[in-house]
Structure 1
Amino acid sequence: MTVIADHGAMSRKRSTTWVSVVVFILLIVIGYYLTRYQDQTAPPTTPAPAEPGQDPAAQLAALTVAPEGRMAGYSRDRFPHWSSQGNSCDTREIVLQRQGSDVRSDGECRATSGSWVSVYDGETITDASKLDIDHTVALAEAWRSGADKWTDEQRQKFANDLGGIQLIAVSATSNRAKGDQDPAKWKPPVRSYWCTYALNWISVKTTYKLTVDQAEHDALATMISQCPK
């Protein structure tokens, strides 16, 4: 009788263990699908102005002023993007999720709805296909400013920098008007954004140790002189 009782206890213990395992697996599966397919409804964030930790004019003065380099050897392929960021998302889709309002994405992480304010021209856009992800300091501009000497791995990091100020979702119209021009040749149509744009530009060039040419330097100095004191 004692042996029979022991077998019963062992049987109940094994049963309890299997139930625990099954419940654990179910929780993992449910958690996975909730994470992968939930609506992207995080509060919108606007790329923050650079916080250089010192006077912007001093940071600008610390940049090396040099003539622009040549475009020999340049190709956008030398700056691999958009990189995978996990859960079927790439860099572009992460930027859209972060910078939009009420963004919803499908199972492949593609934005299917939402609202974005293009800070360059003030346009409100509700169709993600009409948005470009702009590199504050364009890839070709970076190449002419020193990135031609980087490794492809360094260029990939630059092209997919999710730190908050190098990548920004803007209207395709404004991004293509900008092209690869620096602030001496192109400024955002929304004049009130000039201060933030200049601060971000200076911060990116400082972080990546890129040079500025004289006209670019002078244009940035004019733009930051309009920042609130």
Structure 2
Amino acid sequence: MIKNMTRGFAATALAFAALAPASPAHADELTLVEAITSLPVAEEAREGYKRELHPHWRDDDKNGCSARADVLIAEAIEAPTVGAGCTVSGGVWHSYYDDALVSGPSGVDIDHLVPLAEVHDSGGYAWTTERRRRYANDL
């Protein structure tokens, strides 16, 4: 996801919550509003975050491209050239949040919908390295 994507996440969640049905479709399901209000609230752990604790930009799908390259390829509005070793060049990307066009992969920052530091602060500090790696590379 292009940098700045997290700006609209909270507003989007609240907007969807307002549109959620008043009662669940099945007795054992929660509405979006019920699910959000049932989330536990606790103090964040602001100590000990290090980005390197979250092994990222791996090739978990074994296609020869890192997770970063997979996102660049998938989200381009003008396809980049993919060379040997999954080297990405050229291409154009659109930032939905500031309506900017970005040419070339070096101008694109890929962020997680929930940033790694926020994951850490909100309980990810207790995750195993394997779980942090899976989260950091989830497409």
TM-score normalised over the length of structure 1: 0.45
Q: 1:76 to 1:56 in 2, by over 3 A?
A: same
Q: By how many angstroms is 1:110 displaced?
A: 2.1
Alpha-carbon displacement from aligned partner over 1:167-191 (angstroms, at most 9, x marks no partner): xxxxxxxxxxxxxxxxxxxxxxxxx
**Hey, what does 2:90 align to over in structure 1?**
113
Residue-pair matches, total:
113
Q: Does the aligned pair in 2 maintain the 1:87–1:109 contact within 8 Å?
A: no
Provide the secondary structure at the position in 1 that maps to 2:138: coil
Matched, 1:154 2:138: no
**Hey, what does 1:83 align to over in structure 2?**
58
Provide the secondary structure at the position in 2 that maps to 1:108: helix
Matched, 1:60 2:42: no
Larger helix share, 1 or 2: 1
Alpha-carbon displacement from aligned partner over 1:65-91 (angstroms, at most 9, x marks no partner): 1121232x3211110011124343100
Q: By how many angstroms is 1:54 displaced?
A: 5.8
Q: C-alpha distance in 2, partners of 1:87/1:157?
A: 16
Matched, 1:137 2:114: yes
**Higher relative contact order structure (alpha carbons within 8 Å, sequence separation ≥ 6):** 2
Q: C-alpha distance in 2, partners of 1:69/1:91?
A: 27
Q: By how many angstroms is 1:161 displaced?
A: 0.7
**Hey, what does 1:74 align to over in structure 2?**
49
* Identity fraction in percent: 37
Report the residue type matching 1:92 in the other structure: R
Q: Does the aligned pair in 1 maintain the 2:54–2:136 contact within 8 Å?
A: yes
Matched, 1:102 2:93: no
Report the residue type matching 1:124 in the other structure: L
Provide the secondary structure at the position in 2 that maps to 1:132: coil
Bigger CA radius of gyration? 1
**Hey, what does 2:23 align to over in structure 1?**
none
Alpha-carbon displacement from aligned partner over 1:37-65 (angstroms, at most 9, x marks no partner): xxxxxxxxxxxx88998643222112111
Q: Does the aligned pair in 2 maintain the 1:69–1:145 contact within 8 Å?
A: yes
Structure 1, unpaired ranges of 5+: 1-48, 163-229
Q: By how many angstroms is 1:152 displaced?
A: 0.4
Q: C-alpha distance in 2, partners of 1:110/1:56?
A: 41
RMSD, aligned CA: 2.3
**Hey, what does 1:14 align to over in structure 2?**
none
Report the residue type matching 1:99 in the other structure: E
Report the residue type matching 2:133 in the other structure: Q
Q: By how many angstroms is 1:136 displaced?
A: 1.3
Report the residue type matching 1:93 in the other structure: A
Q: C-alpha distance in 2, partners of 1:120/1:110?
A: 27
Alignment of 1:177-192 (within 5 A): none
